[in-house]
Amino acid sequence: MFFKWATMIKEIIKGIKLNKKNINKIFESTPLAVAVFESGVQNKHFINYQWENLFGYNKKEFFELGFDKITDPKDLKREKQLLLELNEGSSDFFNLEKRVYKKK
């Protein structure tokens, strides 16, 4: 019985690793600009190449500025509300179309 469980756990771990690899491939190869943030965790923020190319900020610049500095004020209130819901646990994720200032 233990061997069966150990084998299943190994297969699950292998599947997770493959899924992570595939997710990374999709994330980097999609033609869409994508930014992913894990709230409250500094090193769990990701932007893909298309995002960098579209807005002109590299990853370092983007994370130093943060969303507040590059988001149009008309959209910032809605974004903050969605982030609050996410942090409070009333939502698991959100999608938001917003206006972002390009780097000059």
Per-run averaged pLDDT (10 residues), the chain, 104 residues: 57 71 83 75 74 89 84 91 87 84 86
The token pair that represents 102 in the structure block? 């390009």
pLDDT value for 24 = 83
The token pair that represents 53 in the structure block? 């190319």
pLDDT value for 46 = 80
* Cα maximum dimension of the chain: 63
Sign for the CA dihedral angle at 43, 28, 95, 73 comes to positive
pLDDT value for 81 = 92
The residues that bridge with 46 in the sheet, in sequence order, are 36
Beta strands 45-47 and 35-37 are antiparallel
Residue 98 has phi, psi (to 5 degrees) of: -150, 165
Q: Tally Cβ neighbours within 10 Å of residue 79.
A: 16
Amino acid identity of residue 94, one-letter, is F
- Whole-model pTM: value is 0.63
pLDDT value for 2 = 46
pLDDT value for 1 = 46
